[in-house]
């Protein structure tokens, strides 16, 4: 079994080790363009020993944004800032991939008069339910992902990651809980997978054979009426057939029903419950890994003693991603690679980081640099 410190080579990807910075919205963009603080954030993380940085969810259209201070990739004018991020990551010694997102029914719109769109009118936030997308809107979104991927390539990224997880638009299509369509985009498994598959094909065509295409999806959904792991495995296989190079197997850690003006909405979180054991998504990542012929990444509370190496030892994934541990302690990767686990400043799972990015830029109660 590989060690965390072993290099990783796959197609054009050459990583110094098996640790990945998971995509994490920073809320640092201004006018949906990269800021100096954000470029510096990525420079610091790349220097701090992770082999690969996946840059935060970046919106493919203005109405696709998931945070007020979201990075955008719908306009050529956004390319120089993104190129500065890619350059800073590579100069720091890591490979650079950028995640592309459409929020769908979870978009936050700058212009509140614009309705949210989604496969079906299922509320995922407090507020009016989204409107069912037309065929023309579906085609526009597929094109926007492809154009965004082409811009990412021009900005110098080694790869792009399609965000088909966390109940944003593409996972809204995949999940039977949020897709009630009766046309070719809903109903059967093949139809629910179609949007993700078509986006993957369009992205692959836009970036050419040499650029890495990742897809983040759910191995497990703790959502009543949502996707189960057997379906997730088949979705991963469909993505591989569509040209995806790497599966980033995340999940829904917890879900609940909220209420807005007497109407229920489905609340979901990518983060496993506070106090739960680390590696809660790793078993499903392993099932995906055994069913596909491409590398798999897993994530979810993996900075605890021995957990990241344990994932590799158990054959659950090829690469191990960290999110909140990297916020709490910028040097966590270096410490894990050196076997100095005891020196890690642990994340307290207080979720101050998440709360902060809903309004402004990222904060942390552990890391004094982000107080
Ligand atoms: C502040 C914050 C921002 C996040 N932003 C993204 C994002 O942009 N894209 C994404 O796929 N996941 C995002 N996530 C989820 C993480 O990538 C990761 O899957 C999750 O936090 C579980 O990993 P952890 O236990 O190592 O934090 C975010 C998580 C946090 C805490």
325 C-beta closer than 6 A to ligand 1 = yes
Q: What is the pLDDT of residues 171-222, one digit of tens each?
A: 999 999 999 999 999 999 999 999 999 999 999 999 999 999 999 999 999 9
Residue with CA closest to ligand 1 atom 18: 323
Task: For residue 75, give its domain range.
Answer: 8-370
319 Cα–ligand 1 center, Å:
16
271 C-beta closer than 6 A to ligand 1 = yes
Mutate to test the pocket of ligand 1, among 160, 164, 323 (most ligand atoms within 8 A of CB): 323
Q: Is residue 323 part of a domain?
A: yes
pTM: 0.98
Is residue 109 very low, low, confident or very high in pLDDT (cuts 50, 70, 90)? confident
Q: Is residue 30 part of a domain?
A: yes
Q: What is the CATH number for 257?
A: 3.20.20.70
Nearest residue to 141 via CA among 63, 77, 76? 63
Q: Which residues contact 318 (CB under 8 A, 6 or more apart)?
A: 2, 8, 10, 18, 289, 295, 296, 297, 312
Q: What is the pLDDT of residues 90-103, one digit of tens each?
A: 999 999 999 999 99
Q: What is the pLDDT of residues 332-341, one digit of tens each?
A: 999 999 999 9
Q: Is residue 256 part of a domain?
A: yes
Q: In degrees rounded to 5, what are phi and psi of residue 183?
A: -95, -160
Please give the tally of structural domains in the chain.
1
DSSP 179: -
Q: What is the pLDDT of residue 111?
A: 67
Q: Is residue 230 part of a domain?
A: yes
pLDDT at 232 over 70: yes
pLDDT at 116 over 80: yes
270 C-beta closer than 6 A to ligand 1 = yes
Nearest residue to 217 via CA among 230, 232, 228, 201? 232
- Rg (alpha carbons) of the chain, rounded to whole number: 19
162 C-beta closer than 6 A to ligand 1 = no
**Residues 160/146, Cβ–Cβ less than 8 Å:** no
Q: What is the pLDDT of residues 290-333, one digit of tens each?
A: 999 999 999 999 999 999 999 999 999 999 999 999 999 999 99
Q: Is residue 37 part of a domain?
A: yes
Distance CA(343)–CA(331), nearest Å, equals 10
260 Cα–ligand 1 center, Å:
26
51 C-beta closer than 6 A to ligand 1 = no
Residue 351, judged by CB atoms within 10 A of its CB (0-12, 13-18, 19+), counts as: middle
Q: Is residue 3 part of a domain?
A: no
Distance CA(348)–CA(335), nearest Å, equals 18
Distance CA(15)–CA(295), nearest Å, equals 13
32 Cα–ligand 1 center, Å:
19
Place of tokens 């290099």: 7
C-alpha 241: how far from chain center: 20
**Residues 93/102, Cβ–Cβ less than 8 Å:** no
Q: Is residue 290 part of a domain?
A: yes
**Residues 284/219, Cβ–Cβ less than 8 Å:** yes
Give the atom of ligand 1 at the shortest distance from the alpha carbon of 166: 11
Q: Is residue 262 part of a domain?
A: yes
pLDDT at 114 over 90: no
């Amino acid at each position: 079994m590989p060690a965390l410190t072993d290099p990783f080579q796959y197609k054009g990807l050459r990583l110094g080790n098996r640790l990945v910075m998971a995509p994490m919205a920073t809320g640092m963009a201004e006018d949906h363009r990269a800021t100096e603080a954000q470029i510096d954030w990525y420079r610091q993380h790349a220097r701090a020993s992770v082999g690969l940085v996946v840059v935060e969810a970046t919106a493919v259209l203005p109405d696709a944004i998931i945070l007020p201070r979201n990075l955008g990739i719908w306009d050529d004018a956004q390319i120089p800032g993104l190129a500065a991020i890619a350059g800073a990551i590579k100069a720091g010694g890591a490979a650079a991939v950028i995640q592309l997102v459409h929020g769908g029914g979870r978009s936050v719109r700058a212009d509140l008069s614009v309705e949210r769109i989604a496969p079906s009118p299922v509320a995922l936030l407090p507020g009016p339910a989204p409107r069912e997308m037309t065929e023309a809107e579906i085609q526009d979104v597929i094109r926007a992902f492809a154009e965004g991927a082409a811009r990412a390539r021009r900005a110098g990224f080694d790869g792009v990651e399609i965000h088909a997880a966390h109940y944003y638009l593409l996972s809204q299509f995949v999940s039977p809980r949020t897709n009630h369509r009766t046309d070719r985009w809903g109903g059967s498994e093949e139809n629910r997978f179609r949007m993700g598959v078509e986006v993957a094909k369009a992205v692959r065509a836009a970036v050419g054979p040499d650029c890495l295409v990742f897809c983040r999806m759910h191995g497990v959904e703790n959502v009543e009426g949502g996707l189960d792991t057997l379906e997730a495995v088949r979705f991963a296989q469909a993505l591989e057939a569509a040209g995806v190079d790497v599966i980033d197997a995340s999940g829904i850690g917890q879900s609940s029903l909220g209420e807005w003006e007497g109407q229920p909405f489905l609340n979901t979180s990518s983060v496993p419950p506070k106090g739960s054991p680390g590696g809660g998504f790793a078993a499903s990542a392993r099932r995906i890994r055994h069913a596909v012929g491409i590398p798999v990444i897993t994530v979810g509370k993996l900075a605890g003693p021995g957990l990241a190496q344990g994932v590799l030892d158990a054959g659950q994934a090829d690469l191990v991603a960290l999110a909140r541990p990297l916020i709490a302690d910028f040097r966590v990767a270096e410490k894990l690679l050196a076997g100095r686990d005891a020196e890690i400043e642990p994340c307290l799972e207080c979720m101050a980081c998440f709360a902060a990015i809903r309004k402004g830029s990222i904060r942390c109660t552990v890391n004094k640099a982000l107080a």
